[in-house]
Amino acid sequence: MLWLLHVTAALAQRPDEGGLYAFDAEDQLRQLDGPAGLVRVTYSIEGPNVTDLDDDDGSGLPDFPELVAFHAEAVLEMYAELGFRAPISEEEIGEVLGGSPAFDFYLVDFGGNADGQFSTDGCDGQVCGGFMVMENDFQGYGYATDEDGIRTLTSHELFHAVQAAYRAGQESWIAEGTATWSEYQYDPGSTDFFRLCDALLDDPGRSIDQPPAGPVPAFAYGTALFWQFLTERHGPAVIVALQEAEDGADGLEAVDVALAQAGTTWEAEWPLFVSWNLGTGGNQGSLESYPFANRLQSVTEEQRGDTLSDDNRFYPLAATYYTLDHPGGPLWFATADDPSGLQFSLFPEVDGGVAPAIRSWALEAPGALDLGEAGEIPAGTYKFMGTYPQRADQSVKIAFCVGDEAAIAPCLPVADSGDSGDSGESGEGPTGGKEKPGGCGCDHPGGAPGLLALPLLLLLRRRRSVTAHGPAQ
């Protein structure tokens, strides 16, 4: 269970000098260097901060600091293989501290208040170097084993040191999200990674770059799911590009640069990302999703019913999910509000899991959309998803309905006051060209479904005779 303090804004005292989490005068300190000389671990063998001194491997040294040195060096080597900069050594920004230029770990008792933190020694502009303070024995913490906690903390906190080598003080959703992402790169079985990703699935309607206010929330860590999605699609180079972009950009602008270098955009990636998120947990099926989808919870949904009616605010780079228990027959989508920029999809449930979308659409103006293309949608359970897949300064709020013609009536646009209400025999269509239907950009099998505004829809309802092929024209 990861409880972290990410300290980069101000220079910090090292634990052998003082500070919030520090050694006591009664502690007897020892130092242990990693096999490659990349890491030095300082720990206590007696005193208030005494570490776990078990020596099960018979090396003559306590296993706990040995494991810290081993995993920390393995993590640093992994970062180098992926193409990241190494953490800045203190000798690059000032004097050598800790007795060597190696990256320093200090094992102290956090008393259950946290379990690790990266702290800053000094900076050259926005590039900073520092050290790691870590819980000394994990007694009372939720890790399955000491080694599980060590793997989690070394991979997570050392990535903060990597971030500081590009630009310290990155936005929390990038800083904590990519640090949590690094846990999975080092340990694909990381339970901490899966647990934290669930925080994003639990709040999918929130913009990814807008975590809740206050102390760094779980949502910021949970954005690791997005960074892993990009890694599954484009490889870890996209995260390297993100950090390189942070050297001169910030937040969403840095992501823009990284996506462009990967040959893609938010508009291309985001709808697929939120679709993958639908295929997690109990929704697993033939819908493409993560290789670890079964380790995640199901995405949180807003509403379930045999029709859907909601007045929802769609935030940029977020998504909202619903379940529709369709009784079979015609199925329509309607809104009287401007839905520009929004995208919607309808996914069937097959054998208890979600299958690929049978309809995806984007409306350019208010109107009604026949999802069955003048036919019928088979009875069954469907997932309905709406998303705003782009950067934007404002959200889009619309009232919409999904169901048969009667169910969508409250969401239909109001007719043009200049409409004469004729029968459509003027040669300009059933409404004499008076209605102002919106446009439709659709990507689904069988071509674009019909888009109707109020007068035409009411005419169809008067003439409608139910057959196996839908309303007669």
∠ CA 226-227-229 to the nearest 5 degrees?
Answer: 60
- CA proximity to 383, closest of 324, 442, 342: 324
Asked whether the beta carbons of 193 and 224 are under 8 A apart, the reply is: yes
Q: What is the pLDDT of residues 103-147, one digit of tens each?
A: 999 999 988 778 889 999 889 899 999 999 999 989 888 899 999
Helices (H), 289-447: 405-408
Q: What is the DSSP string of 121-180?
A: EEEETTEEEEEEEEESS-TTS--SSHHHHHHHHHHHHHHHHHHHHH-SS--HHHHHHHHH
Q: How many residues are present in the chain?
A: 473
The pair of three-digit structure tokens given for residue 52, joined into one six-digit string: 């776990």
Q: Give dist(CA 466, CA 376) in Å, integer.
A: 10
Asked whether the beta carbons of 384 and 352 are under 8 A apart, the reply is: no
Residue 370 DSSP label: E
At residue 13, the pLDDT reads: 86
∠ CA 94-95-99 to the nearest 5 degrees?
Answer: 145
The pair of three-digit structure tokens given for residue 455, joined into one six-digit string: 């007068």
Helix (H, G, I), strand (E, B) or coil at 398: strand
At residue 113, the pLDDT reads: 79
Our CA dihedral for 12, 14, 17, 21, rounded to 10 degrees, sits at 90
Name residue 280's amino acid: T
At residue 458, the pLDDT reads: 39
| Cα within 13 Å of Cα(60), Cβ side | 1
Q: Is 70 exceeded by the pLDDT of residue 4?
A: no
The pair of three-digit structure tokens given for residue 279, joined into one six-digit string: 């295929």
* Beta-carbon contacts of residue 72 (< 8 Å; ≥ 6 apart): 34, 38, 39, 41, 103, 105, 132, 154, 158
Q: What is the pLDDT of residues 250-307, one digit of tens each?
A: 899 999 999 999 999 999 999 999 999 999 999 999 999 999 999 999 999 999 999 9
The pair of three-digit structure tokens given for residue 387, joined into one six-digit string: 């998303």
Q: Residues of the chain with pLDDT > 70: what percent?
A: 84
Other CB atoms closer than 10 Å to residue 413's CB: what's the count? Answer: 22
